[in-house]
Chain A
């Protein structure tokens, strides 16, 4: 079982609210990732980080933002949630020496009303 945690697991929120999805890992991994996944669909990379103070946008454009102030913490923020943001958000981490094997958290299911 990977030591990577996401909170909350489920979030139902109204349109226009600001939300932050938390992701923490205790493995000391330099690389961290955020994916967005709709039910039965592929994972889309929306953000990634190769270390502290490093963040990059992924292949899928997203209105969310991320920060990486500490190695173990990679929060994702939506300034103003909309129904189109309803999805599952998965956080992952990896270590370069491990051939990019990624370890995933349990995910956050977001529903924006």
Chain B
């Protein structure tokens, strides 16, 4: 499989805590993207990190990329109940995005 594989599969935290999700992939990439999906809806693009970048920030999101380990992480700081959703990493392999099963994040108020 060439999927981006997220870990953990599910994560439950309290509001205000940080949430960290990890992703591994298997082949070389152009970039890696993270998406969010609310229950039963389409995906929303969160952040993109290029293969020559190691870290990127966007608001409360911090993404890292380690191409030598073929892994990435998404950190959501000071989580809110509204962050409850599924989060997918999508390695861009030759112009195609490869989605894994996602991490289901539940943030309890």
Contacts and interface: CB of A to CB of B under 8 A. Distances in A.
Q: Is the interface of B mostly helix, strand, loop or mixed?
A: strand
B50 A104 contact: no
Given A99-B30, A99-B48, A100-B31, 7 more contacts: A42-B101, A42-B102, A59-B96, A92-B43, A96-B95, A102-B33, A102-B45
Interface stretch (A11-19, A61-69, A73-81, A105-113): A105-113
8 contacts: A35-B99, A41-B101, A42-B102, A96-B95, A100-B30, A102-B33, A104-B42, A109-B40
- Which 9 residue pairs of A and B lie closest in terms of their CB atoms, listed nearest first? A104-B42, A43-B99, A104-B43, A42-B101, A106-B42, A42-B99, A107-B42, A100-B92, A101-B45
B66 to A, nearest CB: 19
Interface in B63-91: 88, 90
Interface in A40-58: 40-43, 45, 48
Contact of A107 (B30, B41, B44): B41
A90 interface: yes
A45 B33 contact: no
A102 B97 contact: yes
Contacts of A88: 40
